[in-house]
Amino acid sequence: MSFSSYSSVSSSSSYRDVSKRLQDIIAANPGYQFVQHNGQRIFEISLTFGQIAPPKGSEIFIGNIPKFVFEDELIPLFQKVGPLFKFRLMLDFNNRTRGYGFATYFNVEHAQNAIIVLNGFKLHHVKLAVYKSIDNRRLYVGNIPKEKTLQDVFEVFLMYSEGVSKVIMYSKWECKSENRGFAFVEFETHIAASIARRHFHPSNLVVWEGQALYVDWADPLPDVSPTVLSQVSVLYVKNLPFHYHYKSVHKLFESILGIGMITRTHKIRDYAFVHLKDRRIAEYAKEKLNGLVLEDGMLEVEWARPPQYSTRARANRPPDNFCLSVPLRTRRLLKQMDKCANLECNVCANEK
């Protein structure tokens, strides 16, 4: 059935016989199951199949779902773009749809294609709203004693939580032997981060002889399209010596690349943005300088995000779906400048 003809199918769904239709979906998708939990019905691969969770950016938000439409129409529609890892439909207390849900694909490419193909698609004369879902996996951890190291924080979260993948901690600009009093902890999945936050927020994590750490959601990093990122030739360099002048950074890159390869250098405190002549040169510089020990710090070199992917720039285009894992400050900013009045800021069911 083509996308164009799907919207013209007459409504056959009702609040009756939903169970029978769900059984038909399971029969058509061996290895999958339905689980109902926290106000949502989840279509997912059985645990016995041992599938690895898809990468971040593989989940999309689906809004404006007609109240009489259920998974028997939605799942086949979104499977036309690619195989689904998981589909979540939000339900009220009477098991009727709340008008929105989430679809998770096995890769980012299928998720992006679903947004392109199905955003605005008419289902029973109602236009679906399909956007990228932000599955925040980062926690902010504050009130850390200044002498504690990244490894100290990592060991604490390994001991008291599951699914920890990375800890990010920054030294003081003027004293590299001391941290800035906070860190970011990244988890393998949004669910793992959500569970840790639920246990520790706001100050329930007491370690190091009575030190209460403050734990809450961190601002999620914007996901840059791989196509856009592949064109970037600007490097973001962190952990530079505080006393370094921009000319010192320029000379550092020239020692690797030679003269004439850098077009512009902009340094702020202990980080800098270095504009290279082309992508190939930038890739070489990134490979050579990332992890380089410079004085008493190790350089971190990554691709600079284009300006349009900043938090404020996001407010000038249709929003991603924000759940409670996006800090209130960011949600408030985007709601003030919301270009899509018909899309409300939905609350992720996992946070209920």
Section 155-160 average pLDDT: 94
Contact between 327 and 219 (Cβ < 8 Å):
yes
Question: Does the pLDDT of residue 86 top 70, yes or no?
Answer: yes
Structure tokens that stand for 48 in this block? 């016995």
Compute the average pLDDT of residues 78-98: 91
- From 24-33, 53-62, 65-74, 140-149, the region with the lowest mean pLDDT: 53-62
Q: What is the mean pLDDT of residues 247-265?
A: 92
At 96 the pLDDT is: 84
Contact 193, 325 (CB under 8 A): yes
pLDDT tens string 182-213: 999 999 888 889 899 999 998 889 999 899 99
pTM (two decimals): 0.62
Rg of the chain over all Cα atoms, to the nearest angstrom: 23
Mean pLDDT of the chain: 82
Residue 332: CB atoms within 10 Å: 10
Q: Of 65-74, 190-199, 216-225, where does mean pLDDT reach its minimum?
A: 216-225
Segments in the chain forming alpha helices (H): 3-6, 18-28, 71-79, 108-118, 150-160, 190-200, 226-229, 246-257, 279-289, 311-314, 328-336
Q: Which residues contact 317 (CB under 8 A, 6 or more apart)?
A: 339
Residue 217 near residue 327, CB atoms below 8 Å? yes
At 26-39, the pLDDT tens digits run: 999 998 999 888 78
Domains and CATH numbers, the chain: 3-132 (3.30.70.330), 138-217 (3.30.70.330), 233-304 (3.30.70.330)
* pLDDT for 253 beyond 90: yes
| Whether 180 contacts 172, CB under 8 Å | yes
Q: How far is CA 252 from CA 8, 53, 112, 247, in A?
A: 62, 40, 38, 9
Could you give the percent of the chain with pLDDT greater than 70?
82
pLDDT digits (tens, 9 = 90+) for 311-347: 555 545 544 454 555 555 555 554 554 444 344 334 3
Q: At what angle do helices 108-118 and 71-79 cross, to 10 degrees?
A: 110
Whether pLDDT at 157 is above 60: yes
Q: What pLDDT does residue 243 have?
A: 86
Q: Over the stretch 123-144, which tens digit does the pLDDT of each residue have?
A: 999 999 999 887 788 999 999 9
Cβ atoms 77, 6 nearer than 8 A:
yes
What percent of the chain has a predicted confidence (pLDDT) above 90?
Answer: 48
